[in-house]
Amino acid sequence: MKAFIKIFRFFPPETAHHLALLSLKILNKVGILKLFFPDNKDFDNPKEYFNLKFRNTLGVAAGLDKNGDYVDELESLGFGFVELGTVTPKPQEGNQKPRVFRYLNQQAVVNRLGFNNKGVNYLVSKIKNKKYDAVIGVNIGANKESTNDQRIEDYVFCFEKVYKYCDYVTVNISSPNTPKLRKLHNPDELEKIFKRINEIKSTNKTEIPVFLKISPDEDEETIFKIVNIYKTLKINGLIVTNTSIDKDILEGCSHEGGISGKPLFKKSTQFLKRIHEFDKDIFLVGVGGVFTKEDYENKIRLGASLVQIYTGFIFEGPAIVKKILSR
């Protein structure tokens, strides 16, 4: 597997991403994947939250599998949960290429993908008859051309489409690559989104948990306004955090977009710690810069109940699951 990872680095980052996932799919189909990762049941450390049974507390962050094409393969690696998306109502190409950039020495990635995905109907077709052990979440967003209240309708549309076929839903207002999306951190705008989602939940008598993924670049005043209305809006958990546009965390950064990977760890973890200290009852999912068992345990120690990885998986490959979860 390490040899494959080295080979993939000769390709442009976005091409390498698709080749890596396609390789996992091929290995899975011919039955070889289990030879590489035969003992993933050893990672089981069950936890129950929101009446969902997580086989362990390490998951895949949104962005790795945007369209639900690789759930079997990711689940086979031993993850406790997989978050798909971000998905939007209509398919969209995303921003102009190149739009993903590696910083190998700092183990970081800068992306300005812009919610490229095949649309919510495609994703639903992939997960409609899911038979996975892992908990499946879907991360929902707004189309780029949508503005003002149409963005609210985009979240509502996606939620109505996916909630019957997944275990939890994440409202993503924090991508830096869709213009003005982060303005939805405004409590008034959040109230519009969650009022509509909560009406759908009530009408359909579903208790599916809904999380909110937040930005690490908002000021503390904004974040604590969200924390203060957390229970009122019936948000079930916060995912802390998305990527950052703060170039100060990545030395020599020469590209626009969201920074992920090791340079994000400190900033995202400080946010997690501050929110947990402010209100220990808030359910938190820690994400951002997790590469090692120590990183993972730090997120848990500072308030996260669950932890997600993305860029760490890109750099380390599937072996990172064993590296983090082995006892």
**Which residues are annotated as catalytic?**
175
Query: Which H/E stretch holds residue 260?
Result: strand 258-261
Query: Cα separations (Å) of 313 from 5, 28, 70, 208?
Result: 11, 18, 14, 28
> Tokens 């990172």 map to which residue?
320
Report the alpha-carbon distance of residue 322 to residue 264 in Å, rounded: 22
Q: What does the radius of gyration of the chain's CA atoms come to, in whole angstroms? A: 18
Q: Return the C-alpha torsion angle 147, 150, 152, 158, nearest 10.
A: -110
Taking the alpha carbons of 312, 126, 45, 304 in that order, is the dihedral positive or negative? Answer: positive
User: With left for phi above 0 and alpha for psi between -120 and 50, is residue 281 left, alpha or beta?
Assistant: alpha
Report the alpha-carbon distance of residue 307 to residue 290 in Å, rounded: 8
